[in-house]
Amino acid sequence: MVRDLQPTPEPDPALSTLDRLNPNRSSSAPSPALGRLGHPGNAEQLEELYERWKADPASTDPVWRGFFEGFELGCQLRPPARSGSTAPAVAGDVLPQARLYNLLFAYRALGHTLAHLDPLGIAPHENPDLALSTFRFTEAELDQVFDSGTLGGGGPRTLRDILAFLRETYCGTLGVEFMHIMNFAIRRWLRDRMERNRNQPVFTPAQQRRVLEKIIAAESLERFLHTRYVGQKRFSLEGGETLIAVLDSLLEACPANGVEEVVIGMAHRGRLNVLVNTLGKSRRKLFTEFHENYVPETVLGDGDVKYHLGYENTITTSENKKLRVSLAPNPSHLEAVDPVVEGKARARQRLREDTVKREKVLPVLIHGDGAFIGQGVVAETLNLSKLEGYKTGGTIHIIVNNQIAFTTVPIDSRSTRYCTAPAKSLGLPIFHVNGDDPLSACAVIQLALEFRQRFHEDIVLDIVCYRKHGHNEGDEPNFTQPTLYSEIDQHPSVSRLLARRLLDAGVITEEQIQKIRSQLDVVSEDALRESREAVTKFQPKLRPDFRCPALLEPVPTGVPGPSLAKLGRLISTIPADFQINTKIRKMLDQRRAMAEGKAPLDWACAEHLAFASLLTSGHPIRLSGQDSRRGTFSQRHSAIYDLRTRARYIPLKNLSKDQASFCVYNSPLSEAAVLGFDYGYSLDCPDMLILWEAQFGDFANGAQTQIDQYIAAAESKWGVTSRITLLLPHGYHGQGPEHSSARLERFLQLSAEDNWVVTYPSTPANYFHLLRRQSLRKTVKPLVVMTPKGMLRDPRASSPVKDCTRGCFEEVLPDPAMASGARRVILCSGKVYFDLAEFREKHGLKDTAVIRLEQIYPLHETKLQAIVGKHAADAEIVWCQEEPRNMGAWNHLESKLRALFRKEIRYAGRRASASPATGALAIHALEQNQLLASAFNFKAPTQNPKSEIPPTTRHKPPASSSRNRNRKHKRKAPRSSR
């Protein structure tokens, strides 16, 4: 009854603060708080209140705060000698019990520091913070009886019993960090759950034998591979075999806890073992992959090494329950798989209509100790765990903590005691378990699952173990860790230790153990024989280039005018009782007018109409990115807010009753984790248009690992495809080095074998068609879009709505002002087209056509040839770009264009540069003018060394031209809060 313990709501104003806190100072009746101190019936509440105050003083009532402060002070002081009437009664009667509560708190918080976690070490020495004397108890008081508060159900216990209880629960082979959790319901649940059985595993003999079987299976597979494929990399799990037993216990417990599917992500260590012993991949298949002539049959691309491959299976538990289990393919980059698995899990939850509780699909991430603390994406992924657009109902993290990373030991790899420190910042429960105690580990994983299903939060199990061999099997650990490895050589295996324990307990016999081992050997030998027969068939040969011609086929994406007008009304209609900002109202009215053809279409409206048309024809969309609801440039406004209440209304969610779902999320300030998440989501929801938007395109490099290792190469490596769409604001507006370039060149460098589509559309209508094509096209490929900033509001870059009513995405746009007969053809992409067209008009240059490559990869060569072919056969062909010569599309296109047109292509653009753009607006304007002049071979009055035409003044532009450029720039500059 917590209510009873609440301090008096209105303390007697006649009492001083101290009087109210300490009745012993007052002649009045004691306050309810102190009056009940030590009363066994209220001990639990008092103790909780005390814990809460310790964790966060501000969370408790000021009166209690004062009380506990005084109480702590009293605990620290030696009790004054009881002499006469001046001795406070509290010292003798109350403090020992209170000190006892203090001790309970301390053990729960710090008991893990005494736990025996390291299989290679001994239990730590005493922690002075947990010494009896710290609580001013003596050995002589060990048999004194105290109220044990909440400990294991409470009741009177001797100090000796209490200490034994605490040590057994918190200082055995399991160390628990949970007192940092600010949610008291969670803390209480964990505490009660652990103290109920003193953190001791309670398994039937059959369950114990199963744990041993799993450990032996893990060990046996490693040893078999070790002897049959000497020196071949497998990243042995030996020393950490407990992982396999833990995964088995987890999967066994899933059906009873309502889990139907488990999505696993893990790195190299023990992966082959998990594939075989957890996911049920056949040994025959695995052994085949070890053969030097092995060539994967199913992969169209280049394939991947065996310890990166994914797998999916439906396994049957010992209770005959089915469970879907998948292991995501992963690249070498440690932890990059984490957000991908989270995204996959969220997608699977969507497919199973499990989007409220998220209890049917469980994500499990298995980490290495070095990577967990070292890789920033871990923290970024943990931070997704409770966010509306990214949560997955809680992830179980398992760390195979072999206390080494390649050759680096913990003292060099972390500044913290535990490698699990990143999880602490999220307030997650963390269990550290000695890897030589698989029974404890298996018990904890079941608790972890119960916890996850109950509280829908992440939880961490840190299996402290060792690495029997070097980092891989060709690696000699004695070069760098000679002492450690002589210890490891002497150390009995996990299976031997557990076997001994179960033999001693009479749970198993020596014969039964032998039988388990020999059966496994037979299975492995049979599989090896079969695999040898299979590998004789392999004939390695170089494969041809992989192409996807469907990528250049037109996809009709026009939407009839009346439908667009109707959609325009829907996206601009807000509930009558919504009071909205007048500028937003105006913007919505403009959108309606644009859709009805009364005003030219801008980009944001084109995007909204593309989305609306897809949604109303049953195609779901997810858009995520930093500030994507409003849009970085205040252009999108997909969510409208009520001025009085901030109630949110999303027109695209309210188009029709049977529309597909539209999800738009402001992401956290992360690139790697968020793009990884959205990519993972796209893998399992291939019918959904999933867009990730960078704040500015250059920030995408924070997610470069995801782009390199997954998005560009996944189809080639693992045969998995995705419709992920990257929206990357790009364009030179003089905003400086970091807000200009989405690094188009990087995407083009990664372009091969039709692995994705790279575009830089120049009109809202073509963007409209592009988005629709990406959603509607049967061929599933990632799409990279250089999206506008200044063009968002540039009247030159608007479209008549009728351009959306017919046709399809145009990979190449002919010059609307000069369809044929030009003596010079300038090829370009995106925004620079408008600058070129304006320059041509301004200077009356009539012999030049400007042709846009709206899609740069794959290049629609026949279309381009046909459009260019309309101009003079001997026309000069120029490539013009805003980006420096070593950036942009030039390097990618030059040889292709030269081969296509059988002539040299002249370059017009900024000269090669280390930085993407100048920081000075005036220089930007000068450079921009010069590259335009260069494209037309127009003799400009001034020239700049940053461009490819002869240098003149770079730092001192003529005042007049500089002023002009600035004015011009201002008109087009994107409106961004940056």
Exactly one of 16, 138, 314, 332 binds ligand TPP (CB under 6 A); which one?
A: 332
State the binding partner of 460 from Mg ion, ligand TPP, none, CB within 5 to 8 A by kind: none
The token pair at 706 is 């995801």
Element (H, E) at 929: helix 921-935
Which residue, among 708, 636, 648, 647, has the nearest Cα to 679 in the 3D structure?
Answer: 708
Q: Which 637-676 residues touch Mg ion, going by CB under 5 A?
A: none
For residue 361, list its beta bridge partners.
261
Please report whether residue 775 would count as binding Mg ion according to CB under 5 A: no
Rg of the chain over CA atoms, in angstroms? Answer: 34
Please report whether residue 815 would count as binding Mg ion according to CB under 5 A: no
CB of 147 to Mg ion, least distance (A): 44
Exactly one of 271, 333, 432, 969 binds ligand TPP (CB under 6 A); which one?
A: 333
Output the DSSP codes for 358-382: --SEEEEEEEEHHHHHH-HHHHHHH
Please report whether residue 370 would count as binding ligand TPP according to CB under 6 A: yes
CB of 120 to Mg ion, least distance (A): 14
Size of the chain in residues: 978
Please report whether residue 269 would count as binding ligand TPP according to CB under 6 A: yes
CB of 278 to Mg ion, least distance (A): 19
Q: How many residues bind Mg ion (CB under 5 A)?
A: 5
Please report whether residue 377 would count as binding ligand TPP according to CB under 6 A: no
State the binding partner of 812 from Mg ion, ligand TPP, none, CB within 5 to 8 A by kind: none
Output the DSSP codes for 389-448: TT--S--EEEEEE-S-BTTB-HHHH-SSSSTTHHHHTTT--EEEEETT-HHHHHHHHHHH
Exactly one of 169, 402, 624, 798 binds ligand TPP (CB under 6 A); which one?
A: 402
Nearer to ligand TPP by Cβ, of 458 and 462: the residue is 462
Nearer to ligand TPP by Cβ, of 181 and 488: the residue is 488
Residue 759 main-chain phi, psi, to 5 deg: -135, 160
Locate the DSSP E strands across 833-919.
848-853, 855-857, 876-884, 906-910
CB of 380 to Mg ion, least distance (A): 21
Nearer to Mg ion by Cβ, of 239 and 370: the residue is 370
Which residue, among 852, 848, 846, 841, has the nearest Cα to 814 in the 3D structure?
Answer: 852
Please report whether residue 404 would count as binding ligand TPP according to CB under 6 A: yes
State the binding partner of 332 from ligand TPP, Mg ion, none, CB within 5 to 8 A by kind: ligand TPP
Q: Which 138-157 residues touch ligand TPP, going by CB under 6 A?
A: none
CB of 401 to ligand TPP, least distance (A): 7
Q: Are 798 and 601 in contact (CB under 8 A)?
A: yes
Q: Supply the DSSP symbol for 954.
A: S
Q: Which 893-922 residues touch Mg ion, going by CB under 5 A?
A: none
Output the DSSP codes for 125-140: PPPGGGSGGGGT--GG
Span of 158-166, 403-411, 454-462, 923-931 interacting with ligand TPP by CB under 6 A? 403-411
CB of 449 to Mg ion, least distance (A): 24
Span of 182-190, 404-412, 515-523, 816-824 interacting with ligand TPP by CB under 6 A? 404-412
Burial of 499 (0-12, 13-18, 19+ CB in 10 A): buried
Nearer to ligand TPP by Cβ, of 461 and 742: the residue is 461
* Residue least distant from ligand TPP (Cβ): 368
Q: Supply the DSSP symbol for 264.
A: E
Please report whether residue 400 would count as binding ligand TPP according to CB under 6 A: yes
Nearer to ligand TPP by Cβ, of 269 and 397: the residue is 269
For residue 401, list its beta bridge partners.
464
Which residue, among 382, 368, 309, has the nearest Cα to 334 in the 3D structure?
Answer: 368
Q: Are 689 and 775 in contact (CB under 8 A)?
A: yes
Query: How many Cα atoms occupy the beta-carbon half-sphere of 964 within 13 Å?
Result: 8
Output the DSSP codes for 457-495: --EEEEEE---SS-SSTT--GGGT-HHHHHHHHHSPPHH
CB of 405 to ligand TPP, least distance (A): 3
Nearer to ligand TPP by Cβ, of 146 and 466: the residue is 466
Please report whether residue 563 would count as binding Mg ion according to CB under 5 A: no
Please report whether residue 368 would count as binding Mg ion according to CB under 5 A: yes
Span of 52-60, 399-407, 450-458, 887-895 interacting with ligand TPP by CB under 6 A? 399-407
**Binding mask of the shown chain, residues 404 to 423, with x at each position contacting Mg ion by CB under 5 A:** -x------------------
Q: Locate all alpha helices (DSSP H) within 631-755, ordered by sequence.
A: 672-684, 704-705, 714-718, 744-749
Q: Supply the DSSP symbol for 734.
A: S
Count CB atoms within 10 A of the CB of residue 964.
13
CB of 435 to ligand TPP, least distance (A): 12
Site for ligand TPP, rule CB under 6 A: 269, 332-334, 368-371, 400, 402, 404-406, 471
